[in-house]
Amino acid sequence: MVRVDYKGVTKRYEDGFEAVIDLNLEVKDGEFLVLLGPSGCGKSTTLRMLAGLEDITEGEILIDGMKINHLPPSARGVGMVFQSYALYPHMTISENLSFGLRMEKGENRLSDDEISKRVLEYAELLGLTEQLDKKPKELSGGQRQRVALGRAGIRRPRVLLMDEPLSNLDAELRNQMRTEIRRLHDQFGTTTVYVTHDQIEAMVLADRIAILDGGKLQQHAEPLEVYNNPANEFVRGFLCKHINETVDTANRIFEDR
């Protein structure tokens, strides 16, 4: 059971700017939650407070009912994937994948055999078996992002966090990786918070969507519920209108042929 709760969370940066304002949000056990909104609306800030990369100004964040405001990132049990791959360039793919496991201390430390087994398992899952002895620079962008996904997942984090992980990939690869991310989620059932500004991506991936604007939560519901019953004009404009226009464009392309 891994649930996450934001309770009255506000983030005020040093210059006084409020990037997240009184956020109340629940992520259920095993849920794939997508944080959606335009650039600058506070998505990354929301995620980074959960990861421990930003202080929480007001309110609290709980993982499984335990307040984590003052826990260091390493003690929170979260795995994170960023837009940039941030792989270790001098290490092989195998070493990149196993790095976090090798750094574990004490009772959490797996044996070397178990680590090798887990690396092979994840390489298989992500189609990287042939790449294990290569260095990151020998891989394509898509393969590198797969390594980043594997590196976050291989430690079996309690919560998996992803911040626009597909933004650097071309459209076809993005589609393919989306499907894979959802497949991995269905397989492991890890509670996931995924940040994107892409409406279609949110609709395809999410169990529920949380839409932010100006640091404030606008709506939190299942994708079709949001689409069919937008809570306000912002959601109608940002999500519904965008999807309708995308569908219209697609239809027009086919009509013209």
Residues that bind Mg ion (CB under 5 A): 44
Q: Which is nearer to Mg ion, 92 or 168 (CB)?
A: 168
List for the chain the helix, strand, coil content (%; round to 5). Answer: 45, 25, 35
Q: Which is nearer to ligand ADP, 37 or 157 (CB)?
A: 37
Query: Where do we find the tokens 């999410």?
Result: 206
Other residues' Cβ atoms within 10 Å of the Cβ of residue 106: 5
Classify 247 as helix, strand or coil.
helix
When binding is defined by CB under 6 A, the residue of 8, 13, 129, 247 that contacts ligand ADP is 13
Taking the complex as a whole, the smallest distance from the CB of residue 166 to ligand ADP amounts, in Å, to 15
44 binds ligand ADP (CB under 6 A): yes
When binding is defined by CB under 6 A, the residue of 6, 9, 43, 139 that contacts ligand ADP is 43
User: Can you list the positions of beta strands (E) in 31-89?
Assistant: 32-36, 58-63, 66-67, 78-81
39 binds ligand ADP (CB under 6 A): yes
Distance CA 69, CA 57 (A): 10
254 binds, among ligand ADP, Mg ion, none (CB under 5 to 8 A by kind): none
Task: State phi, psi for 202 to the nearest 5 degrees.
Answer: -60, -45
145 binds, among ligand ADP, Mg ion, none (CB under 5 to 8 A by kind): none
Per-residue b or e along 155-172, where b marks 16 or more CB atoms closer than 10 Å to that residue's CB: bebbbbbbbbbbebbeee
End-to-end, the C-alpha distance of the chain in Å comes to 52
185 binds, among ligand ADP, Mg ion, none (CB under 5 to 8 A by kind): none
Q: Which is nearer to Mg ion, 44 or 192 (CB)?
A: 44
16 binds ligand ADP (CB under 6 A): no
The alpha carbon of residue 81 and the mean position of all alpha carbons in its chain are separated, in whole angstroms, by 6
19 binds ligand ADP (CB under 6 A): yes
**Is the CB of residue 155 less than 8 Å from the CB of residue 142?**
no
* Residue number closest to Mg ion, CB atom: 44
40 binds ligand ADP (CB under 6 A): yes
209 binds ligand ADP (CB under 6 A): no
Binding site for ligand ADP (CB under 6 A): 13, 15, 17, 19, 37, 39-45
